[in-house]
């Protein structure tokens, strides 16, 4: 059992991945889009995430190999579907990691933003290379601090006798709720990090399912609570807030230091970055074993038998994106790519042979349709970028595959 995670450690990997910097800022733009229907947007995002989490959990109960939806698609669909899932995951999460690193640095050290962002990527990658147990310990500390802080914020808001409300109607003739749900969904997406661990988790076929369920339930309860309490404290001010969590706590507790919120947001960013890099290196390692990436990506070693080569290469790509500075476009790539990843997961769950205790296949059809609905609700420029990048990668893969067959 050495170098394998216990159940509670996997739970905190999932929590740390989900509770990133987004929770500190996402409620303002979501409120602007959904208006007084903000809680409905959270519930809708939660339903999409729950169905996807259920698909991942059921698949993990039969496939213990690391790699998440890549390995599931390989087992129940085809290698092309597996490549689509794996490449979508890597593309989306590399972009996300760069944005999160810059967010962390921007919170705490705005004057040295790029340098500190690069240092944070190097530090988190080093922890992952030392082994999955180090990753879990880091997630336990960083995720635990974030959960306690958000629970404190919720209680403070409730005790402040809130009596405000958002009076604005949803934008886009009501479809603003869907766009808000699309924004909020990505705050849930970190539960996939647990599935990428595979047999690095003790009794993975059982514990992956439990860890995903527990981590998702905790985060959903926090998000839903905030969707009710923040509007009750801030009212329409939430819609226009640049720093909603700061405004929320200062309205709940007059004089509350903004620096405390900024510090915890930075900690949350590091927790999310740590889990993201760990998940990407595991997926890339499995793709290396299968020849979808160079075999070097499959190399493992060190005290924790970590996929060190994949971790280094992925971290270097993240650093290059950080150095590029402007990452607004990265959000579009990440948004579309991660929904593509979960769409493949739902399709793989649909193709699983029926077994006692499995959920009806109609749920996975519903999940796939939800992914499509939310995916096509992201801003148009984000949708175009995501489609173009995904299509280009798939065409290159198909072209190389045909060349190899001819050779």
To 5 degrees, how large is the angle CA 64–CA 65–CA 69? 95
Tokens coding 378 = 């992201």
Q: How far is residue 49 CA from its own chain's centroid?
A: 10
Please give the Cα distance from 316 to 324 (Å, whole number). Answer: 13
Q: How many CB atoms lie within 10 A of CB 355?
A: 9
φ and ψ of 210, to 5 deg? -70, -45
Query: Are the C-beta atoms of residues 201 and 208 closer than 8 Å to each other?
Result: yes
Please give the Cα distance from 204 to 208 (Å, whole number). Answer: 5
Q: Which pLDDT does position 198 carry in this prediction?
A: 65
Q: Which pLDDT does position 147 carry in this prediction?
A: 87
Please give the Cα distance from 406 to 185 (Å, whole number). Answer: 43
Q: Look up the pTM and report it.
A: 0.79
Q: Which pLDDT does position 228 carry in this prediction?
A: 92
Q: Which fold has domain 7-406?
A: Amino acid/polyamine transporter I (1.20.1740)
To 5 degrees, how large is the angle CA 287–CA 290–CA 292? 55
Tokens coding 308 = 């060190």
Tokens coding 245 = 């969590």
Greatest alpha-carbon pair distance for the chain in Å reads 72
Query: Are the C-beta atoms of residues 390 and 340 closer than 8 Å to each other?
Result: yes
Please give the Cα distance from 338 to 25 (Å, whole number). Answer: 20
CA-closest candidate to residue 19, choices 263, 186, 153: 186
CA-closest candidate to residue 314, choices 341, 291, 287: 287
For 220, counting Cβ atoms within 10 Å of its Cβ (0-12 exposed, 13-18 middle, 19+ buried), the class is buried
The alpha carbons of the chain give a radius of gyration, in whole angstroms, of: 20
Q: Which pLDDT does position 328 carry in this prediction?
A: 56
Please give the Cα distance from 340 to 344 (Å, whole number). Answer: 6
CA-closest candidate to residue 20, choices 214, 186, 240: 186
Whose tokens are 């988190």? That residue is 124
Please give the Cα distance from 337 to 327 (Å, whole number). Answer: 16
Please report, for residues 72, 341, 345, the alpha-carbon distance to residue 75 in angstroms, rounded to integers and kept in the order given.
5, 15, 11
Ordered mean pLDDT values, 10 residues apiece, the chain (407 residues): 73 79 79 88 88 84 80 90 89 83 78 87 87 74 86 90 74 71 76 68 79 87 92 88 86 89 84 83 86 85 80 91 69 75 91 81 88 76 79 80 65
SS (H, E, C) the chain: CCCCECHHHHHHHHHHHHCCHHHHCCHHHHHHHHHHHHHHHHHHHHHHHHHHHHHHHHHHCCCCCCCCHHHHHHHHCCHHHHHHHHHHHHHHHHHHHHHHHHHHHHHHCHHHHHHHHHHHHHHHHHHHHCCHHHHHHHHHHHHHHHHHHHHHHHHHHHHCCCCCCCCCCCCHHHCHHHHHHHHHHCCCHHHHHHHHHHHHECCHHHHHHHHHHHHHHHHHHHHHHHHHHHHHHHCCHHHHCCCHHHHHHHHHCCCCCHHHHHHHHHHHHHHHHHHHHHHHHHHHHHHHHCCCCCHHHHCCECCCCECHHHHHHHHHHHHHHHHHCCCHHHHHHHHHHHHHHHHHHHHHHHHCCCCCCCCCCHHHHHHHHHHHHHHCCCCHHHHHHHHHHHHHHHHHHHHHHHHHHHC
């Amino acid at each position: 059992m050495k170098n394998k995670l216990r159940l509670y450690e996997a739970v905190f990997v999932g929590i740390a991945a989900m509770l990133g910097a987004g929770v500190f800022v996402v409620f303002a733009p979501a409120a602007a889009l959904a208006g007084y229907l903000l809680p409905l947007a959270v519930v809708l995002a939660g339903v999409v995430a729950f169905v996807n989490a259920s698909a991942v959990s059921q698949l993990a109960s039969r496939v213990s190999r690391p790699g998440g939806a890549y390995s599931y698609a390989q087992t129940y669909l085809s290698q092309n579907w597996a490549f689509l899932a794996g490449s979508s995951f890597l593309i989306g999460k590399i972009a996300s990691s760069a944005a999160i690193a810059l967010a962390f640095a921007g919170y705490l050290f705005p004057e040295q933003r790029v340098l500190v962002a690069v240092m944070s990527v190097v530090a988190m990658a080093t922890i992952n290379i030392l082994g999955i147990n180090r990753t879990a310990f880091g997630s336990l500390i960083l995720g635990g601090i974030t959960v306690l802080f958000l629970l404190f914020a919720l209680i403070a808001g409730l005790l402040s006798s809130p009596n405000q409300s958002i009076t604005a109607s949803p934008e886009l003739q009501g479809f603003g709720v869907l766009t808000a749900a699309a924004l909020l969904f990505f705050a849930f997406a970190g539960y996939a990090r647990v599935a990428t661990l595979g047999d690095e988790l003790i009794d993975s076929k059982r514990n992956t399912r439990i860890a995903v369920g527990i981590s998702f339930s905790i985060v959903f309860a926090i998000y839903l609570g905030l969707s009710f309490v923040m509007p009750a404290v801030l009212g329409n001010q939430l819609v226009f807030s640049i720093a909603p969590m700061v405004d929320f706590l200062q309205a709940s507790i007059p004089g509350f230091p903004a620096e405390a919120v900024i510090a915890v947001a930075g900690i949350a960013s590091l927790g999310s970055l740590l889990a993201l890099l760990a998940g990407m290196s595991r997926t890339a390692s499995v793709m290396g074993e299968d020849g979808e990436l160079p075999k070097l990506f499959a190399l493992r070693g060190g005290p924790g038998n970590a996929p060190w080569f994949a971790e280094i290469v992925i971290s270097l790509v993240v650093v290059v994106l950080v150095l590029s500075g402007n990452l607004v476009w990265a959000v579009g790539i990440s948004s579309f790519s991660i929904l593509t990843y979960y769409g493949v997961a739902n399709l793989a769950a649909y193709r699983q042979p029926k077994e006692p205790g499995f959920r009806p296949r109609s749920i996975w059809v519903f999940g796939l349709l939800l992914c499509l609905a939310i995916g096509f609700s992201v801003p148009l420029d984000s949708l175009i970028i995501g489609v173009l990048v995904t299509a280009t990668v798939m065409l290159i893969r198909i072209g190389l595959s045909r060349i190899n067959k001819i050779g």
